[in-house]
Amino acid sequence: MNNIQISDWSMLLITGIYVFITYRILRAANLNTKETLRPRVYGDFNFDFQNQTMYVQIKNFGKKAAYNIQTKFDPDFIYGNDESLNAAPYIKSLPFLAPGNERKSILGKAPELFKKQKNDNIKISIEYTGKDPKEKFSENYNFSLDSFRIRFKTN
């Protein structure tokens, strides 16, 4: 009789461990799926080296649309007639960006833009939501103008 009880308890313990492990695996898979199937917004500066032109780009390379996208440059990026990129409505605040879509805007000639910047290191902070406004995301990207300044041979 004691052998049956020990084997029953052993099976109960093994089953409990199996259920726990299965739960953890399913939970991890669910988190991975959520992370994979979400918007992912990226900010960057692009260059056309042949024309010495500089662009700013905000792109959603995620699998879902991004909403209420707020972008901030720290320190602020100055372009044109001493205009602030943080104040540019077409970059600062976007209501919607579909998966795979981007907002790209020309800033001007890179050598002239480099001279206007007080700092070579720029942090691009992006905050946005998924379709559900409770789904909040934020990304930070650090960008150094120094390596591009060398390619354009400016000080």
Under 8 Å between Cβ of 76 and 49: no
Mean pLDDT of 61-76: 95
What is the C-alpha separation between 90 and 85, in angstroms, rounded? 9
Where residue 3 falls among pLDDT bands split at 50, 70, 90?
low
pLDDT at position 127, please?
97
Give 71's Cβ-side CA count (13 Å radius): 32
pLDDT at position 154, please?
56
List the beta strands (DSSP E) in the chain.
41-48, 53-60, 66-74, 78-79, 83-84, 93-97, 102-109, 121-129, 136-144
pLDDT tens figures, 92-146: 899 999 999 999 999 999 999 998 998 889 999 999 999 999 999 999 999 998 8
pLDDT at position 47, please?
92
pLDDT tens figures, 44-57: 999 998 899 999 99
Angle at the Cα of 37 (from 140 to 96), degrees rounded to 5? 60
pLDDT at position 155, please?
53
Q: What integer best gives the mean pLDDT of the chain? A: 88
